[in-house]
Amino acid sequence: MRRGPWKLVQQGDGAAQLFNLTDDVGESRDLAAREPARVADLGAALARWEKDVDQSARTAKGGRPSP
């Protein structure tokens, strides 16, 4: 998930990494521990996006769940 200079990488196990791409193009400094509010905000935005995509996929398939 990317918003402005911030990039959130969320792993399947729930772990998250946060990078400021303006200051760290190589994504070598994980700022998640120092920016928990930003992680929560971006994580919530990602969850909303995933829900919207899931709904769109179900609608496109006539309401059937994706395989």
Mean pLDDT of the chain: 89
At 62 the pLDDT is: 64
The C-alpha atoms of residue 6 and residue 14 are separated, in whole angstroms, by: 18
14-41 pLDDT, tens per residue?
899 999 999 999 999 999 999 999 999 9
Ordered by where they begin, the domains of the chain are 2-59 (3.30.1120.10)
Does residue 61 have a pLDDT over 70? no
**Quick one: how far is CA 8 from the chain centroid?**
5
pTM of the model as a whole? 0.77
